[in-house]
């Protein structure tokens, strides 16, 4: 029996396991169906602990980390929460947390890279990012030697750093524009001969990788939670948590009720919150003046079948709009009470939980999972030398020749003819 199949959520047809889109043109995500209906963790390291529910047929052991789930005492006591669990993604030696990029985007990059290895893919992979995803893919590509083109907004380039001495397989190009501009340029490049697109939300490896946050939490708690909190940009992490929860319900050992999704965005640049609430929460200046602009995506996968709307509808979910002050205050309180630094995006998730408590959306006795999508960066930089990833060049999204400029940059960097 095959380990898994990939099926369209609209027509139901099974597709090639590496497909990103339905071949019939349906506007729907593809989803993996695994032959093993119950989850039994393996003895493999890092994310590969959940090998049975990852769409791969091999592993990359070096450098792989995973979520570490623990029961909160400090922050929970501040709000009288009796059953709050922290799903920590980052670097925290005392908790055996070893993601060397300090972001849960590692959970996407390793399964995606493993699938490319299985295809013996030699083309240049193209990744658009506002920072954290780029750092994660740079990390795994340096380990495997896969050639990688990163297309990142200029204002996000400061997030590109590495613990590796050198990244000879990684070409970084900055874009004067926002994340969507970077996505658009990257998509044009990826469609050309000699390049391969990693796929974003449509890539089942990325979603199932992020889904391991919920898997780790449920195996640690031995039950599904009542509520799940996460900050989101595109919302793909929320979709992943929903998909994992459905598999865990079908497992039959952890409960029969889907957790309520609580997804937070950072005001004044919160497209998903704007759509869901009917409020105008997207300023013309976006993504300027955000607590963390990695959470801004102009065109999130909301209405696509299997997308954010379906995930929220299926779970009775909520969207939250979090101000910069709320995020800052929540970050300070979390770090003080839990004893580890967290990334600004994770602070938005914490602030969303605070809002939910104040609105009465959760009860003190509810079982709650709070996804800290990135943390321990300050701690890592105390323990390990890091260096910035220097851009090879920059382009403007308004330049009609930007695509050709990037191609020239790539040819020079990798010494190839495209």
The three-state DSSP-derived secondary structure of 363-408 is CCCCEEEEEEEEECHHHHHHHCCCEECCCCEEEECCCCCHHHHHHH
Looking at the domain assignment, is residue 55 inside a domain?
no
> Looking at residues 336-363, what average pLDDT do you find?
98
Per-residue pLDDT at 1 exceeds 80? no
Q: Are 214 and 244 in contact (CB under 8 A)?
A: yes
Residue 57 resides in a domain: no
Average pLDDT over residues 336-351: 98
Strand pairing class (30-34; 14-15): unpaired
Whether residue 111 is contained in a domain is answered as: no
159 and 180 together in one domain: yes
The reply to whether 52 falls in a domain is: no
* CATH number of residue 138's parent domain: 3.40.50.1100
**Is 405 found in the same domain as 363?**
no
Residue 50 placed within a domain = no
Q: What is the mean pLDDT of residues 208-215?
A: 98
- Alpha helices by DSSP H, 269-343: 271-277, 308-315, 324-338
237 & 288 share domain:
yes
* Residues 168 and 243 grouped into a single domain: no
User: What percent of the chain shows pLDDT beyond 90?
Assistant: 89
Residues 255 and 129 in one domain: no
**Domain extent for 259:** 68-101+206-381
pLDDT surpassing 90 at residue 102: yes
The pTM of this model reads 0.96
Mean pLDDT score, 253-281: 96
* Mean pLDDT value across residues 138-148: 96
Residue 240 shares a structural domain with residue 333: yes
Confidence of residue 180 (pLDDT cuts 50, 70, 90): confident
Give helix then strand counts, H and E, for the chain. Answer: 13, 17
CA 138/CA 339 separation, integer angstroms:
28
H or E element at residue 229: strand 227-231
Q: 120-145: b or e for each residue (b if 16 or more CB lie within 10 Å)?
A: eeebbbbbbbbbbbbbbbbbbbbbbe
**pLDDT in the model for residue 418:** 80
Residues 187 and 90 in one domain: no
189 and 170 share one domain: yes
46 in any annotated domain: no
Q: Are residues 286 and 317 in the same domain?
A: yes
pLDDT at 211 over 90: yes
Longest dimension (CA), the chain: 62
Is the distance from CB of 139 to CB of 116 less than 8 angstroms? no
pLDDT per position as a tens digit, 157-171: 999 999 999 889 999
377 and 397: one domain?
no
Residue of 67, 78, 71, 66 whose CA lies nearest to 332: 78
> What's the whole-number mean pLDDT along residues 81-109?
97
What confidence tens digit (pLDDT) does each residue in 55-77 have?
Answer: 999 999 999 999 999 999 999 99
Q: What total number of domains does the chain contain?
A: 2
Contacting residues for 234 by C-beta, under 8 A, at least 6 apart: 200, 201, 297, 300, 301
Is 351 part of a structural domain of the chain?
A: yes
Residue at 7 is within a domain: no
**Distance (Å, rounded) from C-alpha 275 to C-alpha 260?**
19
In this structure, the number of other CB atoms found within 10 A of the CB of residue 298 comes to: 16
Same domain, 336 and 371: yes
Same domain, 371 and 295: yes
Q: Cα-flanking dihedrals φ and ψ of residue 239, to 5°? A: -60, -45
Determine the average pLDDT of the residues in 321-332: 98
Round the average pLDDT of the chain to a whole number and report it: 95
């Amino acid at each position: 029996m095959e380990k898994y199949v990939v099926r369209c959520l609209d027509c139901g047809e099974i597709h090639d396991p590496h497909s990103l889109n339905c071949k019939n043109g349906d506007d729907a995500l593809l989803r993996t169906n695994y032959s093993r209906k119950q989850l039994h963790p393996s003895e493999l390291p890092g994310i590969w602990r959940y090998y049975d529910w990852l769409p791969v047929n091999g592993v990359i052991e070096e450098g792989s980390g995973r979520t570490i789930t623990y029961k909160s005492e400090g922050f929970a006591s501040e709000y009288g929460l009796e059953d709050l669990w922290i799903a920590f993604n980052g670097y925290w030696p005392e908790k055996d947390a070893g993601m060397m990029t300090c972001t849960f985007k590692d959970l996407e990059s390793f399964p995606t890279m493993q699938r490319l290895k299985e295809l013996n893919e030699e083309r240049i992979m193209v990744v658009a990012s506002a920072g954290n995803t780029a750092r994660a893919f740079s990390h795994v590509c340096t380990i495997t030697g896969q050639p990688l083109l990163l297309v990142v907004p200029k204002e996000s380039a400061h997030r590109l750093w590495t613990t590796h001495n050198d990244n000879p397989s990684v070409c970084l190009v900055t874009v004067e524009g926002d994340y969507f501009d970077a996505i658009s340029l990257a998509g044009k490049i990826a469609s050309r001969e000699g390049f391969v697109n990693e796929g974003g939300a449509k890539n089942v490896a990325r979603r199932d990788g992020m889904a391991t946050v919920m898997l780790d939490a449920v195996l640690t708690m031995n039950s599904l939670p009542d509520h799940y909190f996460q900050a989101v940009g595109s919302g793909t992490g929320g979709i992943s948590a929903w998909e994992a929860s459905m598999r865990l319900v079908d497992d039959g050992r952890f409960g029969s009720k889907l957790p309520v999704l609580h997804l937070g965005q950072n005001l004044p640049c919160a497209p998903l919150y704007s759509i869901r609430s009917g409020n105008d929460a997207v300023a013309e200046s976006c993504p300027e003046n955000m607590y963390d602009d990695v959470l801004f995506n102009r065109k999130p996968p909301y209405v696509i079948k299997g997308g954010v709307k379906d995930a929220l509808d299926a779970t009775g979910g909520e969207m939250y709009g979090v101000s910069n002050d709320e995020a800052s205050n929540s970050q300070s309180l979390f770090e003080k009470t839990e004893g580890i630094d967290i990334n600004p995006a994770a602070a938005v998730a914490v602030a969303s939980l605070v809002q939910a408590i104040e609105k009465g959306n959760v009860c003190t006795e509810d079982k709650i999972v709070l996804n800290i999508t990135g943390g321990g960066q300050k701690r890592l930089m105390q323990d390990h030398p890091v260096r910035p990833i220097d851009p090879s060049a920059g382009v403007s999204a308004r330049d009609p020749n930007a695509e050709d400029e990037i191609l020239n940059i790539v040819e020079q960097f990798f010494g190839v003819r495209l």
